Amino acid sequence: MFCSGCGQALQPGQLVCSQCGRPIAPPVPPIPNLELQVQTYSGRIRALSIVWFVYGGLTLLLGIAGMTFLHEFLNGGFAPWMHGPMGNGPWEQPWFGAAIVHFAWGVIIVRAGLAFIAGWGLLERTEWGRIVAIVAAFFSLLKIPIGTALAIWTLVTLLGYRNSTLYAQLGPRV
Distance separating alpha carbons of residues 107 and 93, to the nearest angstrom: 20
- 131-166 in b/e form (b: 16+ CB < 10 A) is ebbbebbebbeeeeeebeebbeebbebbeeeebeeb
Q: What is the pTM of this model?
A: 0.71
Is the model's pLDDT at 69 over the cut of 70? yes
- DSSP letter at 21 equals -
Indicate the residue type of 99: A
Per-residue pLDDT tens over the stretch 113-157: 999 999 999 999 999 999 999 999 999 999 999 999 999 999 999
C-alpha 3 chain-centroid distance: 44
117/87 Cα distance (integer angstroms): 42
The pLDDT assigned to 128 comes to: 94
For residue 77, pLDDT beyond 70: no
Which has the higher per-residue pLDDT, 37 or 12?
37
Lowest mean pLDDT among 22-31, 45-54, 146-155: 22-31
Which of 125, 130, 141, 117 is CA-nearest to residue 56?
117
